[in-house]
Amino acid sequence: MTISPVLVAGGGIGGLAAAIGMARKGIRSVVLERDRDFLEIGAGIQLGPNALAVLDRLGAGERVRERLIPVAFLEIRDAVEGGSLVRLDLHGRFLDRFGAGYGVIHRGDLLRSLHEACLESDLIELVPSAEVTSWEEHADHVEAVTADGRGWRGRCLIAADGLHSRFRRDLVGDGDPIPSGHATFRCLIRSELMPEHCRVDGAVLWAGPGCHLVHYPLRDREVYNAVITVHDGSTGEARGEAVDDEPVRHLFDRVGDRARAFLEAGTGWRRWTLRDREPVDTWVKGRIALLGDAAHPMLQYAAQGACMAIEDAAVLADRLAAHDDPETALGDYAAARRERTARVQRLSRWMAAEVYHPGGTAAGRRDAMLLDLTEDRLLEHLNWLYTPLGGNT
């Protein structure tokens, strides 16, 4: 008897990584993706050693590393005064300690790398233009129906359908994702247009009152990814709409000259509003499980949403390979992931409030805390987050 495949709803970073992870364990999957292709325009993404180590183990690391920039440092600067508050060298003791390194990559390049790895496997079927609109669970299988009326049968279903997950409504029922009141603007800046003090080989974050600005190099260092965020109370839904440059710059009036020079180099900004959710206890119902942002959406401030989705993928594959019964495997997967991902969700909110956005006396306390951090203490703080997962995934 042929064992039916695992259905994956959503071919983003989490869904493709899950398919690759399962193929490594000899498990067939069918990835149903709503969009016409598996690529994404847009900006950059940072990948910590916890995610890079998983990608290496899944066999996709080499492809990703061909397009990755292994930046030399992470730095937080004061957006008002212009000085450096803390800087972490990523090539010295960081690399010795966490092994897999730290890098930045264009999101399209990351997805392309994962997509290519999927195409190489005859255990993965990729189906574009396949939006899952309904599903039904049976005693020994799951059926999904796509918008075009096609039906798909699998032994279980992984819902990797992102922040606005349709599956989550049914499995968890905790309403819409929660608006953070933050708006983010992104654009790419050609390297020669970056002010010299920003044309550096690191990921730099300028922390200001109620706002922060980030830049790092991408694509052979020919462009810089620019991501600027303001706490302006936004609650509406924006997913990349084009906006005029001048009004965007005005939102950052409080920053000083050095951060402003970077801000003014950016043009063609696009706007997103940011949402997350409270951690919940379960992401599994019978033969259906959530993965990635569908399970544990977080604000981007720890640069870990995609990293967590990649980790989920490895743990999921591990558990599905270890148990014949999918319900046991999915329960085990969620139990293994719950606490860690909840901690990162909470950390992401904390970073905004306590590190990136404080003003006045709170900013003074933040500065004192950061200026006091030695490399030893920083590495110790980051240990739980960046240490790659154990196990045989």
- List interacting residues with ligand FAD (CB under 6 A): 9-15, 32-35, 45-46, 131-132, 160-163, 166, 184, 227, 272, 292-294, 300, 303-307, 309
CB nearer ligand FAD, residue 161 or residue 367:
161
Count Cβ neighbours within 10 Å for each residue of 231-243 and write b for 16 or more, e otherwise: beebeeeeeeeee
Q: Which is nearer to ligand FAD, 61 or 162 (CB)?
A: 162
Question: Shortest approach of ligand FAD to residue 318 CB, angstroms?
Answer: 18
Q: Give the nearest distance from C-beta 374 to ligand FAD in angstroms.
A: 25
Assigned token pair, 280: 């919940």
Cβ closer to ligand FAD: 36 or 360? 36
Tell me how far the alpha carbon of residue 375 is from its chain's centroid: 25
CA distances in angstroms from 139 to 154, 286, 339, 389, listed in the order given = 12, 9, 30, 33
Strands (E), 83-177: 84-89, 103-106, 124-127, 132-137, 142-146, 151-154, 156-159
When the beta carbons of 64 and 309 are compared against ligand FAD, the nearer one is: 309
Min separation Cβ 311 and ligand FAD, Å? 10
Note the Cα 381 to chain centre separation in Å.
20
Q: How far is the CB of 204 from ligand FAD (least distance, A)?
A: 13
Considering only CA atoms, which of 212, 213, 182, 184 is closest in space to residue 359? Answer: 212
Listed in order, strand segments (DSSP E) in 191-331 are 202-208, 211-218, 223-234, 239-242, 270-276, 284-285, 288-290
Smaller CB separation from ligand FAD, 27 or 183: 183
Beta carbon of residue 297, minimum distance to ligand FAD (angstroms, whole number): 7
C-alpha to C-alpha distance for 137 and 135, rounded to whole angstroms: 7
Minimum CB separation from ligand FAD for residue 14, in Å?
3
Of 323 and 349, which has the nearer Cβ to ligand FAD? 349
Say if CB 370 and CB 325 are below 8 A apart.
Answer: no
Residue 81 CB, shortest distance to ligand FAD, in Å, is: 25
User: What is the four-CA torsion angle of 185, 305, 86, 189, rounded to 10 degrees?
Assistant: -30
State which residue, 180 or 393, has the beta carbon closest to ligand FAD: 180
- Cβ 147 to ligand FAD, closest distance in Å? 8
User: Least distance from C-beta 160 to ligand FAD, angstroms?
Assistant: 5
> Are 64 and 221 in contact, with CB atoms under 8 Å apart?
no
Residue 75, strand partner residues: 87, 204
> Given the complex with ligand FAD, which of 266 and 292 has the nearer CB atom?
292
- Residue number with CB closer to ligand FAD (255 or 307): 307
Which residue, chain included where needed, has tokens 């991408």? Answer: 218
Task: Give the dihedral of Cα atoms 84, 90, 92, 98; nearest 10 deg.
Answer: 140
- The helix (H) or strand (E) run that includes residue 317 is helix 305-322
